[in-house]
Amino acid sequence: MKKILGIIVLSLLLSNNIFEKASAEESCYDFIKETVQYNTSNTVLQFDFKNTSRKTIKIYSWGLLRKDGSTLKKGSYPIYLKSKDSAISQLKVNDLNLNMAGNYEYYCKFEKEPKVKKKKYKSNKSKGGFEWWYLLFIPAVVGLIGGTSKKKSLGTNLGLKKGSAAGNSYGIIIMVAFIAVCIILILKTNNF
């Protein structure tokens, strides 16, 4: 029983090794079925590629050749074909002399499509600037100014007496202007 099990395991390992060697020798050209044709007005050459393998194939160069075998026009981007996938690509040839055109060509290899890196979201808010919590210091500042101004004489810097109607209206105007500036700064910085 152990001998039979050993033979089975060895045969599986050998067949897996043989399969890997065979798949390493595979060519992507064996798994691509292509159809290439001009449109009815001969202005576009259409390439239709179909992948019949289980692997992703990259067609990294494709185009139209001259009759002498040199390149007449190439496609401008690579084509990735996932397993059992197909793609249609067009090559504009309306600016070419098609009397010089010969066969088409393409080059491929087994390669996975690179993953696109996503950009991280960055906030538009700038660091620094006005913060809303700065407004918490307003009562302390107003209290200090008010406390120091009581110790002085009845005159003020504006030449008005304390408690007069004109002095109260200037105080209200200054407070409204200060609050308006604070609101504008808050709205400008969008810091809520």
| Sequence ranges of the domains in the chain | 28-110, 132-189
Tens digits of pLDDT across the chain (192 residues)? 666 655 665 566 656 555 555 555 789 999 999 999 999 998 999 999 999 999 999 999 999 999 999 999 999 899 999 999 999 999 999 999 889 999 999 999 998 888 877 776 666 555 555 566 666 667 666 655 655 555 444 445 555 555 555 555 666 777 777 777 777 777 776 655
Bin 115: left if φ > 0, else alpha if -120 < ψ < 50, else beta. beta
The token duo for 37 is 């044709």
Does the pTM of the predicted model rise above 0.75? no
**Residue 47: φ, ψ to 5°:** -105, 125
Going through the chain in order, the beta strands assigned E by DSSP cover 32-38, 44-51, 57-66, 71-74, 79-81, 86-92, 101-110
Q: Which CATH class is domain 28-110?
A: mainly beta
**What is the rounded (10 degree) CA torsion for 80, 84, 85, 91?**
70
Q: Which of 109, 102, 108, 99 is nearest to 61 (CA)?
A: 108
The token duo for 165 is 């109607």
Whole-number pLDDT of residue 176: 75
